[in-house]
Amino acid sequence: MKSISANLNIMIKASEKASKILIRDFGEIENLQVSKKGPSDFVTNSDFKVEKIIMEELKKARPNYSFITEEAGIKKNEDIKNTWIIDPIDGTMNFLHGVPHFAISIALKSKDEIVCGLIYDPIKDEIFYAEKDNGAYFNNHRIRVSKKNDLDECLFATGGKLKNNPEILYRKTGSAALDMAYVAAGRFDGYFQNDLNLWDIAAGIIIIKEAGGVINDINLSKIEKLDVIASSPSISSKLIEKINNF
């Protein structure tokens, strides 16, 4: 494995520290205080605690960097060219229902580009990370996207509602970040979803790219209503054609 940058090391340490809160609270899920944010979007005390820890740790190392986070929103600082993008619990509904499939997601945007990112599943102790021109990794092992080229043999991930049942095999897991990480690792062959938030996908963008995958152009100046189609190069055009015909 190539050596990692100071920024990525900071992100890993912050996620590992914050994960202790998630693991503890997940074990006491029935005691969590829950407040409703929307029809299908809930926030727990764990979200706020995890985000607070991550932000504090990142601020210690890079006090001037800005933030975009799910709970705190946009926090501009002296350095507006470098921005941490944080989702403290991607897969909140899974977390609330005791389903062990959720993750911490942290990315760093430098100017108009995601330059490093990590997705950490604390229950399975699986960490996916990447930085520009340095490859993508899963628990210190290099990862690559799937090499399949026949859609009939592929398994895709998606979220939300589909207007028509596509003629492809797909799963809805409840965590966009982990879906993208799984594409990078070859567990899923592709991922597609509409109306996502930047913090859902920022880390996944760089991880998929560095794993040899392809992803549609995403306007990183937007925070909401982002669409994603990601897969290996060998099936990208086939997947896009299939999605367009839904």
| Widest CA span in the chain | 50
Say whether both 213 and 181 belong to one domain. Answer: yes
> Rounded to an integer, what distance in angstroms lies between the CA atom of residue 23 and that of residue 29?
10
Identify whether the C-beta of residue 61 lies closer than 8 Å to the C-beta of residue 10.
yes
CATH code of residue 97: 3.30.540.10
List, in sequence order, every residue forming a beta bridge with 38; answer none if it has no partner: 41
Contact status, residue 167 vs residue 156, Cβ threshold 8 Å: no
Give the angle subtended at the CA of 113 by the CAs of 12 and 161, to the nearest 5°.
80
Q: Are 219 and 171 contained in the same domain?
A: yes
Binned at pLDDT 50, 70 and 90, residue 128 comes out as very high
Q: Over the stretch 27-82, which tens digit does the pLDDT of each residue have?
A: 887 666 566 555 445 567 888 999 999 999 999 999 999 999 988 899 999 999 99
Q: Are residues 34 and 105 in the same domain?
A: yes
Residue 29 falls inside a structural domain: yes
Residues 118 and 68 reside in one and the same domain: yes
Whether residue 1 is contained in a domain is answered as: no
Q: How far is CA 108 from CA 39, 176, 208, 232, in A?
A: 30, 18, 15, 23
CA 135 centroid distance within chain: 17
- If pLDDT is split at 50, 70 and 90, which confidence band does 133 have? very high
Assess whether 13 and 130 both reside in one domain.
Answer: yes
Asked, for residue 128, whether it belongs to a domain, the answer is yes
121 & 157 share domain = no
CATH number at residue 229: 3.40.190.80
* DSSP letters spanning 165-199: --SSEEEE-S-HHHHHHHHHTTSSSEEEEEEE-HH
Give the CB-side neighbour count of residue 170, counting CA atoms within 13 A.
22
User: Which two structure tokens, joined as six digits, stand for 46?
Assistant: 């764990």
End position of a domain, from candidates 94, 116, 142: 142
Taking the C-alpha atoms of residue 51 and residue 189, their distance in angstroms, rounded to an integer, is 30
- Is 166 found in the same domain as 118? no
Contact predicate 100/123, CB 8 Å: yes
Domain boundary among 142, 173, 207: 142
Same domain flag for 81 and 176: no
pTM of the model: 0.92
Q: Is there a single domain that holds both residue 27 and residue 56?
A: yes
Q: Could you tell me if 108 and 13 lie in one domain?
A: yes
Which of 123, 142, 161 is at the close of a domain? Answer: 142
pLDDT tens string 219-230: 999 999 999 999
Q: Domain range holding 168?
A: 151-244
119 and 19 in a common domain:
yes
- Distance, in Å, from the CA atom of 134 to the CA atom of 162, rounded to the nearest integer, reads 36
